[in-house]
Structure 1
Amino acid sequence: MTKSITIFEQNFILHYSGALFWEEEDMLLISDVHLGKVSHFRKFGSAVPQSAVQGNFLKLTEVVEFFQPSKIVFLGDLFHSSLNKEWLFFEAWMDNITSEVILVEGNHDIISPLKYEALGVKLFPEIILKNFLLTHHPEERSGFFNFSGHIHPGVRINGLARQSLKLPCFFKNENQMILPAFGEFTGKHILHPKERNEVYVLANEEVILLK
């Protein structure tokens, strides 16, 4: 269900949902939820089931209840675009959250900051904490380890009979880890690991380190 790693003498837990928990900071990191995307698709005629609207909120609730963090940091693209009815679901979800909630703004986060502030959500362009840099877009900055999202990283796993699977993953190199997209229907950008990369694939409610 989870995989533990250590970076700069800090301890992190990778969860099969795509979330990452920073133990010392009691902080849950989640990237690219893209709330409102399902409703956006349905509005323009895509055959996405109405039940999928609640999928992201159920998943969010599950991982928050699992870790019970004091802080939740969304690493950008919390919402897919402008306001739609899923904002009402988000308001209801926030009513049951006792954690401090922070949004590191991403390129899709175009909803007015005043709407977030009314719910107690704090917005930042980036966060620097100890030797860690939290951003939406992957970034290299000397002296820091970067946690980010945006890419929706995935890898292709090939079978013996030409079968292949595209699976989401945590994608790590020496100074950076890109989190998988947390949200449903977000797609995956296939990356090609090199020797210096560590790839933690999400499959069957497990986090699996590829060798």
Structure 2
Amino acid sequence: MKITINKQNFILHPCGAAFWEEKKILLISDLHLGKVSHFRKHGMAIPEKAIPENFNRLNNILELFDIETIIFLGDLFHSKMNNEWDLFSDWTKTITQQLILIEGNHDVISKKHYTDLNIEIHSEIIIDGFLLTHHPSTRENFFNLCGHIHPGIKLKGLGKQFLGLSCFFRKPNQLIFPAFGAFTGNFYLIPEEKDKVYVIAKDEVIEIKN
């Protein structure tokens, strides 16, 4: 789905990423690499084949657009280093795009490890009236692109059943990205009158009318 914000075009992809057409930037939030290995280490029955899934999804989205820069909107790695860091390091050597990380609350790994991979690290970035952060932020005269919340919405069916879906959650001056990573869960939001919700339904993004 293509949406326009302040005369800029963004393509929302069902993987949870968005491509900023004019800037050739791919925006991804809350990848949480290492989370599967972290859970497995603590005894959760998650199949090992789930580990490469995030990298497969990254590679798939990179093939779709003419991307020059990838900006991670925080929580790139879930916690301390584990074997998935080596996979991430190997992945960075296979791509040509510039990599930028906006620090999130889970990004506790030493900055040196990121800079060794030629990844820029910032607390926030401002691009032509857009404020890119990890935590949702409000600042006068800026439109905020952010993550952190892992937004989702519950849709009610005719038989009183509910369906929970991840979504891009748009407020008048803010777009909150869904979590890109597997096994991240959702925080369900209730849209207000001026909000817009773009749900991820299998292989498409659909706007839900309030």
TM-score using structure 1 length:
0.98
How far apart, CA to CA, are the structure 2 residues paired with 1:167 and 1:55?
A: 19
Q: Shift in Å at residue 93 of structure 1?
A: 0.7
Task: Report matched runs for 1:118-197 at 5 Å.
Answer: 118-197=116-195
How far apart, CA to CA, are the structure 1 residues paired with 2:192 and 2:127?
A: 28
Q: Shift in Å at residue 162 of structure 1?
A: 2.0
Equivalent residue number for residue 113 of structure 2: 115
Q: Shift in Å at residue 55 of structure 1?
A: 0.8
Q: Does 1:92 align with 2:90?
A: yes
Of 14, 17, 20, the match for 1:16: 14
Counterpart amino acid of residue 31 in structure 1: S
Equivalent residue number for residue 202 of structure 1: 200
Equivalent residue number for residue 28 of structure 2: 30
Q: Shift in Å at residue 64 of structure 1?
A: 1.3
Which consecutive residues of structure 2, in runs of 5 or more, have no partner in the other structure? none
Task: Please provide the CA RMSD for this pair.
Answer: 0.6
How far apart, CA to CA, are the structure 2 residues paired with 1:165 and 1:56?
A: 24
Counterpart amino acid of residue 48 in structure 1: I
How far apart, CA to CA, are the structure 1 residues paired with 2:61 and 2:163?
A: 25
Q: In structure 2, the residue corresponding to 1:156 is in which secondary structure?
A: strand
Q: Shift in Å at residue 158 of structure 1?
A: 1.2
**Runs of 4 or more consecutive aligned structure 1 residues displaced over 6 Å after TM superposition:** none
Equivalent residue number for residue 54 of structure 1: 52
Equivalent residue number for residue 76 of structure 1: 74
How far apart, CA to CA, are the structure 1 residues paired with 2:17 and 2:36?
A: 20
How far apart, CA to CA, are the structure 1 residues paired with 2:159 and 2:6?
A: 41
Counterpart amino acid of residue 46 in structure 2: V
Equivalent residue number for residue 102 of structure 1: 100
Which consecutive residues of structure 1, in runs of 5 or more, have no partner in the other structure? none
Q: Shift in Å at residue 164 of structure 1?
A: 1.3
Q: Shift in Å at residue 86 of structure 1?
A: 0.1
How far apart, CA to CA, are the structure 1 residues paired with 2:174 and 2:180?
A: 18
TM-score using structure 2 length:
0.98
The one-character-per-residue Cα deviations of 1:155-202 (angstroms, maximum 9, x if unpaired) are: 001111122111000000110000000000000000001110000000
Aligned residues: 209
How far apart, CA to CA, are the structure 2 residues paired with 1:42 and 1:158?
A: 34
Q: Percent identity?
A: 55
